Amino acid sequence: MDVIYIMWLRQLKKYFRSKSRIVGSLGQPLLFLLAFGFGFGAVFKKAGAGNYMQFLAPGIIIMSVLFTAIFSGIDVIWDRQFGFLKETMVAPVSRFQIMLGKTLGGATVASIQGVIVFVLTLIVGFRPHDLILLPLGAIVVFLVAILFTSLGIALASTMEDMQGFQLIMNFLVMPIFFLSGALFPLEGLPKVMDIIAMLDPLSYGVDGLRFSFIGSEAVFGMTTDMVVLFLLAAALLGIGSRLFERIQV
């Protein structure tokens, strides 16, 4: 347990120590909120779909969690290149505990990032539907953070090149985000798009957070959202730990 705590604390210290990283990571969510929220707000309202900012905000919060979580895998490659990972791996402790600590640390950082973006959405006009459901939204955010932090670490465990990791992450992250329904409703999509959205794990996070924050009816059902997120997070945590244990340093 000491190893898990140390790795978790190290991830948090690295995050809070880099003020430029915190500020820089807010640029993209803020751009999406302003450009899409106000740019398409009038069109969305004329279509009879209501306030677009209310619809968009949960998707942007999940987006910030996704990007922060999945790119936490870069720390594994960084630690390998600078020798810190070798020192950690030769210690008489379980590699699973090391990976679990890194995952929990990355997920905590991603969740904090989500909270910061949530505050930004309040500033630009978003208002939660029911404060009682906010804790449920927090659970959804943390499950999404665990899921994609595990995925990032799993992929980073198979690579030694940081540039290669960034290319693969961009190839995965952007489709995962844009096809999740974060920017558009999932109802009434063509059959092919409907199937793709169902296969996209982020769709369940966006759906669950939208239900928690704006009270809209969950497309997949809140129970389904939570079960899918929990099972995928557990599965990727297991896969990530196996790949992490096989790292050659």
Q: Which pTM value belongs to this model?
A: 0.90
Tokens describing residue 26:
């807010």
pLDDT at 104 over 80: yes
Count H helices and E strands in the chain, helices first. 13, 0
Q: Per-residue pLDDT tens for 132-167?
A: 989 999 999 999 999 999 998 888 888 777 777 677
Q: How confident is the model at residue 233 (pLDDT cuts 50, 70, 90)?
A: very high
pLDDT at 118 over 90: yes
Give the C-alpha separation, 202 to 62, whole Å.
8
Give the C-alpha separation, 239 to 211, whole Å.
30
In degrees to the nearest 10, what's the CA dihedral of 123, 129, 131, 137? -90
Q: What is the mean pLDDT of the chain?
A: 83
